[in-house]
Amino acid sequence: MKQKILVLLHCESCYNRDGIFTGRVDSLLTKKGHEHATQLAKELKDENISIAYRSSLTRAKQTVDHLLAYHPNTKVITDDRIIERDYGELASLKKAKYKKDHPVLFPMYHRSYDVAPPGGESIIQVEKRVYSFVYDVLIQMKKNKGNVLIVGHGNSIRPVRRFFENLSIEQMMQLENQRDKIFTYDINVSEKINEFLLFSKVCGYSNSEKGKICI
């Protein structure tokens, strides 16, 4: 039986609008962000959504609150394995100024796969926790047979898309402008679990007894 995973990036926050490294800083949605979330809710109103996953950050919560306006019975689960990347010492800094002041460091910290900003996370670290989340979602879907909504952040939905769209690391790191689209994956869950186990083995991950992915 085909089931559906719907993946969205939270709507525009104040720090997104202002070009600031956000990371774990709890920036709220802008007026434009609220309006966009309201529009997306209308696009999703006819979907059958059993569970919605989000991080603990307010911008994700505000987005989900709008999206579920037509789904009052949907269960909402907070899971910080899909929280935004920790930008460490770069959090709350203006991107344009940092790029001007540090032209060599900016691309390395901003879009490197395996280099973390000082005190922060690399994308590969984000990827490890996100893949743990993806596996658990697939197991849950196999048990409960419902469709799932995932509202993530710019860097936490990269690995989600990498897995479901069969992207290379390079393709994943080039993903931009993810906020304007609902990414929809119609899947056979049992097949996808087997695919994930092969994928995790090839990528150097293994499954623990609790269904988490570890290196």
Q: How confident is the model at residue 116 (pLDDT cuts 50, 70, 90)?
A: very high
Residue with tokens 């306006």: 69
Q: How confident is the model at residue 65 (pLDDT cuts 50, 70, 90)?
A: very high
Report pLDDT for 207: 47
Q: Which residue ranges make up each domain of the chain?
A: 2-214
Residue 163 pLDDT > 80: yes
Report pLDDT for 77: 98
Let me know the angle formed at the C-alpha of 185 by 76 and 72, rounded to the nearest 5 degrees: 25
State pLDDT tens for residues 18-49: 999 999 999 999 999 999 999 999 999 999 99
Q: Which segments of 82-122 does DSSP mark as H helices, in order? A: 95-101, 105-111
Query: Residue 101 corresponds to which tokens in the numbers above?
Result: 């002041």
Q: At what angle do helices 123-144 and 189-202 cross, to 10 degrees?
A: 150
Report pLDDT for 75: 96
CATH fold for the domain made of 2-214 = Rossmann fold (3.40.50)
Residue 201 pLDDT > 90: no
Report pLDDT for 176: 83
Mean pLDDT of 134-150: 93
Residue 210 pLDDT > 60: no
Backbone φ and ψ for 188, nearest 5 degrees, come out as -90, 110
Report pLDDT for 213: 31
> Is residue 187 helix, strand or coil?
strand
> Is residue 40 helix, strand or coil?
helix
For every residue of 190-213, which 3-state class applies, written as one string?
Answer: HHHHHHHHHHHHHCCCEECCCCCE
